[in-house]
Amino acid sequence: MHPRASNWGWNPAGRRRYVLILLWLGHGVWVLMGPHPGQVWTRAAGLLARPAGRMASRWEDWRARRREQGRSYAQIQAENARLRAQVADLEVAAAQAAPRVSEADEAVRLLGLRKQIPLPLEGARVIFSTRPEAFGGLILDEGRDHGLVPDQGVIVPEGVVGRIWSVGPTQSKVLPADAPNASLAVMLARSRATGVLQGLGSGRAAIRYLSNQEVVQVGEAVFTSGLDRVFPRGLLVGYVGEVVKGDLELRVTVQLAAPLDRVRLVLLLPPQPPLEVQEPFVAPEQKPATRKRGTP
Amino acid sequence: MSRPVAQSSRQDLLAAVALGLVFLCAPFPRLQAVFHVMLVLALAPRVGAPLRTALWAAAGGWALEGAARLYPHLGGTPWADMTVALLVAWMAGRWPLEHLKGWLARLAALLLLHTLLVHGAVRLAAGPHPWGTGWAWALLSLPLWGWALWRLLYGDGAAGRRP
């Protein structure tokens, strides 16, 4: 019964020994399976199948995630397309409404200006512009049908535009302030020196009849003086752009404040307005109140 | 482990007779237990080769369990029979017998071990079960069948020592 090395090889004795071991172990395993071997086999099969089951579970999870991601991606694409269409519609609507919005903004600003000037102002719409042409102007949609007369002042919130040059039955022509044949009584903000504004074209004008002795600074504001009886005193005309001393008078160039090329809504001053309105358009700068000695 | 062919055939013949008696004594469980113990403890270990020893012992165990048909899961008795038969064969080669008393004592000890092992294996395989009184009858009749087998197997004076 002593095992020898030769008995464990693949020879008749070794094979008999292996069969004996297999027989004994087989019976032992069969005994250890117990009274319900089906459960043992089920547990063993489950144990052996557990790695495959885990792999299959992971595979199914991965496929489910892929499917969910694919569905989410499709949903996102559909939503993106829908939002893109909405954005395009909104852009079209915004483009269509842009002129109205701009005009509404301008109207609001005109209303603000109308509240600031205590005069019966009337609004009008610029329907055409012939400014690029020689002696060109702005065409308004109102004429004699609204009681307009020549030489009524035309203003916008930024400043003075010009005056009504001619009045038709339903339309009027505005002579802008930068026209070569336009003239406007103005005064300088600091020196209060008065002069006559004559147009130079392209939104520029020159102040005539200013003495060499006047001190004028570049950037100084230019207001209407009211002496022409077209505009009341104190409406903003523009700002000094250049000052050159001449032999007898100063040559002052003014950049007009009103955007004459982009004006669409204007306010019309009444004919022959008063020299100075009760409430000035541009309020003078308030000096700090000096406190008297002894007062609280 | 090699034995003369005639002696080996005689041992196989005796084992086959014992196996047949196990089958035939199915109506008499106590007698069947005695022949089963004789086959496992005395005859199968002497057939000359471990594989044949295991096969005879397993055949005895399957014959007993198959005839009884008491357990839901068979196999405990054949495994215990194989284990004990192989142990007895190994002991016979390592500690040869010289006297009848030693033979009987060893048989008694092995019978108790066999009984415990069989019932333990059957409990493992089939669950709780009645032990029965076969083991007790085998133990009580041990002097008789032990002496008979001693005379039958070692009557030539070899005293159990393997050549």
Q: Which two tokens stand for residue A249?
A: 């008078």
In DSSP terms, A44 is beta-bridged to none
Of A27, A31, A35, the CB nearest to B72: A35
Among the ranges given (A62-66, A228-232, B36-40, B80-84), the one the predictor scored with the smallest mean pLDDT: A228-232
Interchain proximity B73–A1, CB inside 8 Å:
no
Of A1, A24, A36, the CB nearest to B54: A24
Of A1, A23, A32, the CB nearest to B58: A23
Q: What are phi and psi of A36, to 5 degrees?
A: -125, 75
Q: What is the mean pLDDT of residues B135-140?
A: 94
Q: Does A4 touch chain B (CB under 8 A)?
A: no
Q: How far is A47 from chain B (nearest CA, A)?
A: 21
CA distance B71 to A255: 120
Of A16, A27, A34, the CB nearest to B49: A16
Alpha helices in B25-162 (DSSP H): 29-38, 50-68, 76-94, 100-126, 134-140, 142-154
Q: What mean pLDDT is reported for chain A? A: 83
Question: What letter does residue A5 receive in the DSSP assignment?
Answer: G
- Kindly provide the ipTM of the predicted complex, given to two decimals: 0.81
In DSSP terms, A195 is beta-bridged to A186
Among the ranges given (A118-132, A235-249, A273-287, B9-23), the one the predictor scored with the smallest mean pLDDT: A273-287
All residues at 6 or more sequence positions from A103 whose CB lies less than 8 Å from its CB, including other chains: A264, A265
Q: Does A108 touch chain B (CB under 8 A)?
A: no
Sign, CA dihedral A284-A117-A257-A135, equals: negative
Interchain proximity A24–B86, CB inside 8 Å:
yes
Of A19, A20, A35, the CB nearest to B73: A35
Please tell me the predicted confidence (pLDDT) of residue B40: 95
The answer to whether the CB of A112 falls within 8 A of the CB of A121 is no
Q: Which residue has the higher pLDDT, A212 or A86?
A: A86
**Contacts A32 to B, Cβ<8 Å:** 124-125
List pLDDT tens digits, range A264-274.
888 888 888 87
The answer to whether the CB of A166 falls within 8 A of the CB of A288 is no
Q: Does B88 touch chain A (CB under 8 A)?
A: no
Q: What is the mean pLDDT of residues A120-141?
A: 82
**Contacts A33 to B, Cβ<8 Å:** 73, 125
Q: Does B90 touch chain A (CB under 8 A)?
A: yes
Nearest Cα residue in chain B from A18: B51
**Contacts B87 to A, Cβ<8 Å:** none
Please tell me the predicted confidence (pLDDT) of residue A265: 85
Q: Does A208 touch chain B (CB under 8 A)?
A: no
Please tell me the predicted confidence (pLDDT) of residue B51: 93
CA distance A138 to A152: 14
Averaging pLDDT over each range in A70-74, A91-95, A151-155, which range is the top one? A91-95
Percent of chain A beyond pLDDT 70?
91
Strands A236-245 and A250-256: antiparallel
Q: Over the range B136-151, which residues count as b (16 or more CB within 10 Å of their CB) and which as e? A: ebbbebbeebbeebbe
Within 10 Å of residue A216's Cβ, how many Cβ atoms? 20
Please tell me the predicted confidence (pLDDT) of residue B132: 85
CA distance A149 to A143: 8
Among the ranges given (A225-239, B76-90, B139-153), the one the predictor scored with the smallest mean pLDDT: A225-239
List pLDDT tens digits, range B40-77.
999 999 888 899 999 999 999 999 988 877 777 888 99
The answer to whether the CB of A267 falls within 8 A of the CB of A110 is yes
Please tell me the predicted confidence (pLDDT) of residue B161: 45
Q: How far is A73 from chain B (nearest CA, A)?
A: 59
The answer to whether the CB of A159 falls within 8 A of the CB of A169 is no
Please tell me the predicted confidence (pLDDT) of residue A132: 72
Q: Does A32 touch chain B (CB under 8 A)?
A: yes
User: Which of A11, A17, A27 has the highest number of chain B CBs within 10 A, making it the mutation to test binding with B?
Assistant: A27
**Contacts A35 to B, Cβ<8 Å:** 71-73, 125-127
The answer to whether the CB of A163 falls within 8 A of the CB of A149 is no
Q: How far is B55 from chain A (nearest CA, A)?
A: 8
Q: What is the mean pLDDT of residues A125-147?
A: 83
Question: What letter does residue A293 receive in the DSSP assignment?
Answer: T
